[in-house]
A and B are shown apart, each in its own frame.
Chain A
């Protein structure tokens, strides 16, 4: 084992200067009696996340807190700014939908260092101690169910393509792994291409257009979210292939639920953004009132929506009794 010299002076200097940094990071203490809960969301450019953020904000308001929604625009740097603003503005808790499983950890840790609890919604961060609790869609299991239905619908054979979401997001890979944990058991189901479209409808349309040119004989497309499924379907309609290629999505977005009813899209996995937002808001309220014992991760079940059971669902959730 080799040992090298170090510079103890660096250590000494760090110790001497650290109080200035700590002082510089002190947050503004809220003088208002009304407490505040921030909602920091990855993007408001996708209706699914709008539902998530607005439900969370409405719930914390109904619990008696002030609230503000911060849009990170899928940008980790902007997300860091949002956290600094929330910390400096004296928010008492943060409901957080991260932009990046690894890149967002540092932001949650900043809040933790300032004694502000962070409750992740839908998207996961790869740390078990940065967030107080993570309320997450069970993407993997949802896609296991979707994968089984895919195999049944394809009668265990055919060529398909997969359109992935953001490659830095755990949800992208949990969905893909869940799907492949079933489909890869069937050697006659062949994946001919796998490409990312960043969970974006327009990008998915472009990706699908180029995939159709390269692989004209495909029988199905599995998309990592519903926005991409809609984009892929649009490309198939433009190419005149929409009746030959089965489209599968994931999310439970309103337009895809309608497309399943119209027999344009075969199936999707219904996530429950409202359920996740309500749970996160209630956890924040309980934390502020003194509770400290929260599950580190709380999975929220994803349900398979097909043409057989689509009438039970609406966009982003299930019909309640009044809607049936």
Chain B
């Protein structure tokens, strides 16, 4: 009787123990975690194809934008700019047509149609959050980690560097007519319209 009782108790202990602890291979855990890691390049490419490109027709004419500032700066920022946080730096999605007035080491100067103020199309320093933030289509709360969010900007800028700029830089000549869409950063409190620099998202040299 006692032996049977001990066997019964041992069986219960083994049963409970067997179902209480699970061991998995460390490799499989690491592989699962790696699979869940955020892929900034993939996110940026999807953003570029599915959100940014369909949104380009909503860009504001740069000449219209600059003229709006002289009417009501605050309202113009409220209507056309986006930013993901607090502060004076705001981003706009802009478009325009104009004549190339000079080719410089780090940019191309363009005089937009019906404007007296040159703007710059950046060809060297493609950095920052202008393109990521200008559409207002990305929500920071989608990201668990600040670095993921930063890496999205870097990945978008890489797309521009690799797919938009090479052909433009090789073909652009002074007096060419260009059509562009891009993003700009402006400081709400210290607005300086004499140094507008467009990070291009789409740029075409027009036939004469």
- Whether the Cβ atoms of B146 and A136 lie closer than 8 Å is yes
A6 CA to B14 CA in the complex, in Å?
9
Minimum CB–CB distance for A58 against chain B, Å: 19
- CB-CB under 8 A from B190, the residues of chain A are 309, 312
Residue of A nearest to B89 (CB): A301
- Whether the Cβ atoms of B88 and A301 lie closer than 8 Å is yes
CB within 8 Å of A: which of B115-167? Answer: 125, 127-129, 140-141, 143-147, 150, 153-154
- Whether the Cβ atoms of A6 and B17 lie closer than 8 Å is yes
Interface 9-mer from B43-51, B67-75, B78-86, B174-182:
B78-86
Query: Contact string, A152-184, partner B, CB cutoff 8 A, digits 1/0?
Result: 000000000000000000100010011001100
A198 at the interface (CB under 8 A from B): no
A144 at the interface (CB under 8 A from B): yes
A140-B150, A174-B146, A312-B190 given; A299·B127 CB < 8 A: no
B13 at the interface (CB under 8 A from A): yes
- Whether the Cβ atoms of B128 and A145 lie closer than 8 Å is yes
- Whether the Cβ atoms of A148 and B88 lie closer than 8 Å is no
A177 CA to B127 CA in the complex, in Å?
13
Minimum CB–CB distance for A166 against chain B, Å: 17
Minimum CB–CB distance for A209 against chain B, Å: 33
Minimum CB–CB distance for B177 against chain A, Å: 29
Minimum CB–CB distance for A127 against chain B, Å: 9
B187 at the interface (CB under 8 A from A): yes
A141 CA to B145 CA in the complex, in Å?
15
B22 at the interface (CB under 8 A from A): yes
B18 at the interface (CB under 8 A from A): yes
- Whether the Cβ atoms of A4 and B17 lie closer than 8 Å is yes
- Whether the Cβ atoms of B21 and A298 lie closer than 8 Å is no
B20 at the interface (CB under 8 A from A): yes
- Whether the Cβ atoms of A141 and B83 lie closer than 8 Å is no
Minimum CB–CB distance for B28 against chain A, Å: 10
A1 CA to B24 CA in the complex, in Å?
6
Residue of B nearest to A138 (CB): B85
A4-B21, A301-B88 given; A141·B128 CB < 8 A: yes
- Whether the Cβ atoms of B127 and A303 lie closer than 8 Å is no
CB within 8 Å of B: which of A31-73? Answer: none
Tally of B interface residues using CB under 8 Å: 35
Minimum CB–CB distance for A146 against chain B, Å: 11
- Whether the Cβ atoms of B128 and A299 lie closer than 8 Å is no
A-B contact count (CB 8 A): 102
- CB-CB under 8 A from B88, the residues of chain A are 301, 303, 318
Residue of B nearest to A278 (CB): B86
- CB-CB under 8 A from A303, the residues of chain B are 87-89, 187
- Whether the Cβ atoms of A144 and B85 lie closer than 8 Å is no
- CB-CB under 8 A from A126, the residues of chain B are 145
Minimum CB–CB distance for B145 against chain A, Å: 8
A297 at the interface (CB under 8 A from B): yes
A140 CA to B154 CA in the complex, in Å?
11
A1 CA to B19 CA in the complex, in Å?
12
A3-B21, A5-B17, A141-B128 given; A300·B147 CB < 8 A: no
Residue among B19, B84, B140, B150 with max Cβ neighbours from chain A (10 Å): B150
A263 at the interface (CB under 8 A from B): no
- CB-CB under 8 A from B4, the residues of chain A are none
- CB-CB under 8 A from A141, the residues of chain B are 128-129, 150, 153
- Whether the Cβ atoms of A174 and B150 lie closer than 8 Å is yes
- Whether the Cβ atoms of A4 and B86 lie closer than 8 Å is no
A4 CA to B20 CA in the complex, in Å?
8
Minimum CB–CB distance for A12 against chain B, Å: 11
A-B contact pairs, 24 of them (CB 8 A): A1-B24, A5-B17, A5-B18, A8-B20, A128-B144, A138-B85, A140-B146, A140-B150, A141-B129, A144-B129, A144-B153, A148-B125, A148-B128, A174-B150, A177-B147, A178-B150, A182-B127, A295-B141, A298-B85, A298-B140, A299-B140, A299-B146, A301-B85, A303-B89
**Additional pairs, 12, CB under 8 Å, beyond known A6-B20, A144-B127:** A1-B23, A3-B21, A124-B146, A141-B129, A181-B127, A297-B143, A298-B85, A299-B85, A299-B86, A300-B85, A301-B89, A318-B189
What are the nearest 6 A-B pairs in CB distance?
A301-B87, A5-B17, A299-B85, A6-B20, A301-B89, A140-B150
Which residues of A are at the interface with B, using a C-beta cutoff of 8 A? Answer: 1-6, 8, 124, 126, 128, 135-136, 138, 140-141, 144-145, 147-148, 151, 170, 174, 177-178, 181-182, 272, 275, 279, 295-303, 309, 312, 318
